[in-house]
A and B are shown apart, each in its own frame.
Chain A
């Protein structure tokens, strides 16, 4: 654990207490069994809003607490421990970042206070294909009078159906694959021509597929500059990578704790199975990966707070977190044996969320490639 200030420690402890009391793993199970198409529980999100968590990275001038990325990371980690389903990542981390990085005063004034209080759900619509490839954005925005018309499809949009605000990455010039020629647009979730459908995913949370069919927006919908969206998009995605990695670190830590407890209580051959060296060494290696991944996640969040170049650290954090949750979810099932294969046990929920978060915003291979490029090879 990073060296925390007293306030950060308090925030973490509050988040830990709230997640285990109000949003335990059972809450996700309930959400799943209700067969609702909601990606989060609105009542729980309202409580998070009241506690100020939606405004942790938002400046005080916009009703936030300006508590920083490490602060928000601590909450994401704690809610990740219990697989708590909430728009904390989509709204409080990613959308709030994009608006701060590229928003005009009017845009910030319109959305940041609503985000900070938990009143509005906002999300980034970026992916279009089976894999995260932000530069390959093809959804088109063509000029029409003073404004633009958007045509295309976005997928894997977090909390997209509930979102009041969609931040849409669109191509205004160039070819898919170019980082130049991208523009970000602010589009109301219920704008004419927007059709949202539910993608039912294995993690029981799902996401949205959104079709933009001749969606008209004004010039004031442009976030940042036309054709220069990459300058906002890339740092926004770095915040997404780091924030998601914090959530994944929490999930992997919880999977570890649950499994370690099982190793200390399950008896076979007349002794607890945690006395077997084959399992001890695997647990110790798992612990090693937890510790090194924690260092990466915290370093990325701290670099964001310091305003330093965070690109390599953000990809490092996401790649290590993807490897970690993959290992953690597999080991959790294997070390639990048969009980881990049953739907009644939580191991399956951790594994299914793991696979979705591994792919979300780029898998380990995407981030290894990006890291290598940044390092010059």
Chain B
């Protein structure tokens, strides 16, 4: 990668700023509703056509995947340039052009493990937001112990035949394609797993949304009944899928840590507490006990944010992954659960509404966010598994015999 000196970067910044200002649609300055998240794909309904325009403009420059190579549709930017782009997007308070498991999780492993043909076939469609991907990992009998998965994949000569069931498949009902872990050898555990890609419209695929306690259905049960998959859709080696699966989980956790479970959204706990609990003559939250707990939480959240930043700085320095990274997913789940609980508590009755005119939309979102956040310490590896990983990999403590 070229070393972009100050002047080159300054020029890049000026060009980027000018282009963004000319091309970011003004109608997107309004807050983004939950139903407007730009996931792309064949089933996407664009509520605001400008959001689609924004995606197309960004995709044309490869800036939906800014650091991927240009030959696969990416932006070909250096780390330094990408940072400038991110800064300029933040400066504009721009909505994301594309939210995509393809960009965040699948793309990076395809770049690492896929054949040239596979890269050409799948990556540009991810960049353009044409294909929405879902992740077929967990099964009813394989949660924390993911490698015990049983979805069967048989070699039928000119194709593979897949039978089995996945669960907790995020947005499987909305996705076009799935990247899926399957068992290709029953005599071994980790070494009998393969990584395959297939179309969700293939005969025999069925996705049923699961309704959660929060009322939303972001996950599905996904069933495979004699699904035929062309052999060129195997990624990496047969029975070599576990390495790819783990690599992809690293990208997933990195992404979770970067977004911190999106903890910033919704009402401010401080404002809600001041309004519903009142303030004293010095402007402090009148309920001293609540104020103390909120202060403790705010400080933990601040400490967490500083840790994410430190982990990024240390890994950019290139001395291998920072030890701080290992604790981020665990801490992020805890932070988001605490924050959403405090908001519900501060709102009192106004934080307990399920529907109706007596509550604002933001108030109604608060208990649902609290309920949804309970999954943060389960999905993508439970907090208990996170702690096992820290104990074993970072602290060097051994397994119980």
CB-CB under 8 A from B331, the residues of chain A are 288, 292
- Cβ contacts under 8 Å, B28 to chain A: none
B307 pairs with A292, CB closer than 8 A: yes
Among residues of A, the one whose C-beta sits closest to the C-beta of B396 is A264
Contact (Cβ within 8 A) A1 B391: no
Identify B285's interface contact among A285, A293, A316, A377, CB under 8 A.
Answer: A377
Asked whether A295 lies within 8 Å of B306 as measured between CB atoms, the reply is: yes
B397 touches A263 (CB 8 A): yes
Partner of B391 from the list A281, A316, A319 (CB cut-off 8 Å) is A281
Residues of B within 8 A of A372 (CB): 284-285, 291-292, 294-295, 298
Does any Cβ of B come within 8 Å of A189's Cβ? no
| Nearest neighbor of B292 in chain A, beta-carbon distance | A368
Q: Is B283 an interface residue (CB 8 A)?
A: yes
A3 touches B314 (CB 8 A): yes
B interface SS class: helix
> If the complex has contacts A3-B314, A287-B395, A288-B390, are A375 and B303 also in contact, measured as CB distance less than 8 A?
no
B303, A295: Cβ atoms closer than 8 Å: yes
Q: Quick check: is A284 within 8 A (CB to CB) of the other chain?
A: yes
Q: Are B274 and A281 in contact (CB under 8 A)?
A: no
Chain B residues positioned under 8 Å from A291 (CB to CB): 307, 323-324, 327
Q: Which residue of A lies closest to B279 (CB)?
A: A377
CB atoms of B397 and A283 under 8 A apart: yes
A270-294 contacts to B (CB < 8 Å): 271-272, 274-277, 279-281, 283-285, 287-288, 291-294
Of chain B, the residue at the smallest CB distance from A4 is B317
Does A260 sit within 8 A of B, measured CB to CB?
yes
Contact A283–B395 (Cβ < 8 Å): yes
Q: Flag whether A365 is at the interface (Cβ < 8 A).
A: yes
**Smallest CB-CB separation from B284: which chain A residue?**
A377
A-B pair number, CB within 8 angstroms: 124
> Is the CB of A373 closer than 8 A to any CB of chain B?
yes
- A47 close to chain B: CB less than 8 A: no
- Assuming A295-B306, A319-B299, A372-B291, is B273 touching A284 (CB within 8 A)? no
Task: Using A280-B387, A375-B270 as known contacts, say yes or no to A288 and B327 having CB atoms under 8 A apart.
Answer: yes
A296, B285: Cα distance in complex, Å = 25
B14 on the A face (CB < 8 A):
no
Contact with A along B292-334 (1 / 0, CB 8 A): 1011101110111011011001100100000110010011000
- Residues 205-233 (chain A) with a chain B CB within 8 angstroms: none
Report Cα–Cα, A292/B334, bound state, in Å.
Answer: 13
A275 in contact with B398 given A288-B327, A288-B331, A292-B331 (CB within 8 Å): yes
Chain B residues contacting A293 (CB-CB under 8 Å) are 303
Q: How distant is A170 from chain B, measured CB to nearest CB, in Å? A: 26
A369 contacts the other chain (Cβ, under 8 Å)? yes
| Residues B310 and A298 in contact, CB atoms below 8 Å apart | yes
A196 beta carbon closer than 8 Å to chain B: no
Are A295 and B324 touching (Cβ within 8 A)?
yes
Question: With contacts A260-B395, A365-B292, A368-B299 known, is A275 near B400, CB below 8 A?
Answer: yes
Q: Does B116 contact A (CB under 8 A)?
A: no
Residue among A264, A291, A295 with most chain B CB within 10 A: A291
Given A291-B323, A292-B307, A274-B299 contact (CB < 8 Å): no
The closest CB in chain A to the CB of B316 belongs to: A3
Q: Are B284's CB and A373's CB within 8 A?
A: yes
- CB-CB under 8 A from B304, the residues of chain A are 292
A271–B400 touching, CB < 8 Å: yes
Given contacts A291-B327, A372-B298, contact A274 B398 (CB under 8 A): yes
Q: Which residue of A lies closest to B327 (CB)?
A: A288
Chain B, Cβ-Cβ closest to A319: B299
Q: Closest chain B residue to A368 by CB distance?
A: B295
- Chain B nearest CB from A199 CB (Å) reads 30
Judge if B388 is at the interface, Cβ distance under 8 Å: yes
Residue of B with least CB distance to A372: B295
| Contact status B303-A320, CB under 8 Å | yes
Q: Are A296 and B302 in contact (CB under 8 A)?
A: yes
Most A CB within 10 A of own CB, among B270, B314, B391, B394: B391
B358 lies within 8 A of chain A by Cβ: no
- In the bound assembly, the distance between CA atoms of A312 and B295 in angstroms comes to 12
Residues of B within 8 A of A319 (CB): 299
A376 interface residue per 8 A CB criterion:
yes
CB of A308 to closest CB in B, whole Å: 14
A251 to chain B, nearest CB (A): 18
Q: In the assembled complex, which residues on chain A have CB atoms less than 8 Å from the CB atom of B397?
A: 260, 263-264, 274-275, 279-280, 283
Bound CA–CA A296/B283 (angstroms):
27
Contact, CB under 8 Å: A377 / B291: yes
- B117 close to A (CB within 8 Å): no
A184 interface residue (CB < 8 Å to B): no
Alpha-carbon distance between A244 and B196 when the two chains are bound, in angstroms: 54
Given the known inter-chain contacts A276-B400, A295-B324, A372-B284, please indicate yes or no for A3 contacting B303, CB distance below 8 A: no
- Given A291-B307, A316-B303, 14 other A-B contacts at CB below 8 A? A2-B310, A3-B314, A274-B398, A280-B391, A281-B384, A284-B330, A284-B391, A295-B303, A295-B310, A296-B306, A298-B310, A368-B296, A369-B292, A372-B292
CB-defined A-B contacts under 8 Å, sample of 16: A1-B314, A3-B314, A271-B400, A275-B399, A283-B395, A283-B397, A284-B327, A284-B391, A287-B394, A291-B324, A292-B300, A294-B310, A295-B310, A298-B310, A312-B302, A319-B299
In the A-B complex, the 10 residue pairs with the smallest Cβ-Cβ separation, listed nearest first, are A280-B391, A295-B306, A284-B390, A372-B295, A284-B387, A295-B307, A292-B303, A368-B295, A274-B397, A288-B327
